[in-house]
Structure 1
Amino acid sequence: MSAGQLLTLCAACLAAYGLALLSSVAGFGGGVLLLPVFTALFGLRAAVPMLTLTQLSSNASRVWLNRRELRWRLVGWFALGAVPLAVAGGLALAHAPLGALKRLLGVFLLGVVVWRWRRPHPGRPADPAFAAVGAASGLGSALLGSVGPLTAPFFLAYGLARAAYIGTEAASALTMHLAKLAAYGAGDLITGQVLVYGLALTPATLAGAWTGKRLLARVSDRLFVRLVEAGLLISGALFLLGF
């Protein structure tokens, strides 16, 4: 490995650690913020499958750390919609208009925050509604790399918080990322570079998830919701600006 490649790997590891920590506290946000970093370092077509490999280890670690609080019924409904749409989106990645999709998602996320402020106590969604949430999330994630903020309002409205929210959201995302990787592999997007860097980033991602779990125990439910809303605003702005 050349000096330039080593510096690139170090920068990617530092970013992966910090953003895995963020995901473990807020439940999402790491992938959204990590995508611009990976795009700058590796290019968009390599960044999306590489980000998926990183998210795979990050979500798996959050599932294990919060395994006692998981809501498996919701995970099943989410996977029912997410898996087929994630495969379809993964196969379409090479030809998708990513810029327009990012801006549309940014408008949606900012609108969600405004809606939550106007309706601070929304009705609780039924379990089958998470199949539709999974379908939208699976398609968007396969095309954009990460749309974790898309699912946040629905899990919050269901009444999940802290460990139950973090673990259930991570388990749901895990089913989606596995389907995406299968589609990327079928589309020849999993190159040797993607595999090497994706595996090399795993220790930093696991360390960030462990640190975030320790911090989560000190966060109140009210502060947790505020952190999630702040993450929605930041993520929406980044998508709207085209990052």
Structure 2
Amino acid sequence: MTGTLTTVGPASAAAFALAWLSAVARFGGGVLLLPVFTGLFGLRAAVPMLTLTQLASNGSRAWLNRGELRRGIIGRFAAGAVPCAVAGGLLLAHAPLAGLQRLLGVFLLVTVAWRRLRPRLRPPGPRAFTAVGAASGLGSALLGSVGPLTAPFFLAAGLTRSAYIGTEAACALLMHVTKLVVYGTGTLLTGQVLLLGLVLTPATLAGAWAGRATLGRLSDRLFVLLVEIGLVAAGMLLILLPR
């Protein structure tokens, strides 16, 4: 890990600000936080730390919307996500760091392109969510968050409002729990990573709450544009800079 506990202040500020921005712009907070955490702590520490912050966020959303959960979708998603999250978690502990950081850079660029060019999806069939879960489990274990790439499938299935929020959060929660178990059996979930992740969780939740409070007062288009510019810049730096 390249950072120490002295970076908690800057990391907490970044977690609050980016969680607030993601709530206002309706964009995945995990994707926004990952480059910041990577710069402060290194990718191998950033991914489990981000998983800890997302655990609380997704858990609260799933619980608050528990009456609208689509359990069939959750089960099919988990069938693909859990084994692939295990494989991705094991791979993260041993894969070359330079390669992973360049993969993260490519992922950030693909995220922006997907948001701009994503096709209209047909309603996914029962087996589709197993494949979506498998890709999400592997990608999330390696890169921390792939929510912007999988969310359209939940929307295409006809989920709206509480059903969408709760079901997507429950799927993510199962995946994050699996990842933490795998990280804990290896060398990734150290005491320092665990402490930092827990310390940063309140800042992330506070930022999300503040973002919801200001939602509608600011221009969504401007925020999304700024976010996408930042993701492109971060992606290019991760790809081009020597490691």
TM-score (norm 2): 0.79
1:113–1:232 contact (8 Å) kept in structure 2? no
Distance in 1 separating the partners of 2:209 and 2:63? 10
Task: Choose the corresponding residue for 2:111, options 103, 109, 112.
Answer: 109
2:38–2:46 contact (8 Å) kept in structure 1? yes
Give the equivalent residue in structure 1 for 2:33: 34
Give the equivalent residue in structure 2 for 1:57: 56
2:43–2:101 contact (8 Å) kept in structure 1? no
- TM-superposed CA distance for 1:234, in Å, is 6.0
RMSD: 3.2
Deviates most, 22-31 or 186-195: 22-31
TM-score (norm 1): 0.79
Deviates most, 148-157 or 133-142: 148-157
Distance in 1 separating the partners of 2:234 and 2:124? 26
Given the superposition, is the C-alpha separation of residues 175 and 142 from structure 1 closer, same or farther in structure 2, using an over 3 Å criterion? Answer: same
Question: Unpaired segments of 5 or more residues in structure 2?
Answer: 239-243
* 1:165-199 superposed Cα distances (whole Å, 9 cap, x missing partner): 22221111111111111111112111111011111
- TM-superposed CA distance for 1:200, in Å, is 1.1
Give the equivalent residue in structure 1 for 2:241: none
- TM-superposed CA distance for 1:36, in Å, is 1.3
Equivalent positions of 1:144-223 (< 5 A) are 144-212=143-211
Equivalent positions of 1:36-115 (< 5 A) are 36-96=35-95, 97-106=99-108, 108-115=110-117
1:55 alignment partner AA: Q
1:9 alignment partner AA: V
Question: Unpaired segments of 5 or more residues in structure 1?
Answer: none
2:41 alignment partner AA: F
1:37 alignment partner AA: V
2:158 alignment partner AA: G
Given the superposition, is the C-alpha separation of residues 145 and 168 from structure 1 closer, same or farther in structure 2, using an over 3 Å criterion? Answer: same
Given the superposition, is the C-alpha separation of residues 190 and 64 from structure 1 closer, same or farther in structure 2, using an over 3 Å criterion? Answer: same
* 1:100-119 superposed Cα distances (whole Å, 9 cap, x missing partner): 43355346435534544xx5
Give the length in aligned residue pairs: 231
1:38–1:47 contact (8 Å) kept in structure 2? yes
- TM-superposed CA distance for 1:23, in Å, is 5.1
Distance in 2 separating the partners of 1:57 and 1:125? 28
Given the superposition, is the C-alpha separation of residues 129 and 24 from structure 1 closer, same or farther in structure 2, using an over 3 Å criterion? Answer: farther
Distance in 2 separating the partners of 1:85 and 1:157? 23
Task: Choose the corresponding residue for 2:236, options 211, 234, 241.
Answer: 241
Given the superposition, is the C-alpha separation of residues 113 and 50 from structure 1 closer, same or farther in structure 2, using an over 3 Å criterion? Answer: closer
Q: Which SS does the other structure have where 2:141 is aligned?
A: helix
Given the superposition, is the C-alpha separation of residues 32 and 210 from structure 1 closer, same or farther in structure 2, using an over 3 Å criterion? Answer: same
Percent identity (aligned) = 61
1:149–1:231 contact (8 Å) kept in structure 2? no
Equivalent positions of 1:113-124 (< 5 A) are 113-116=115-118, 119=119, 121-124=120-123
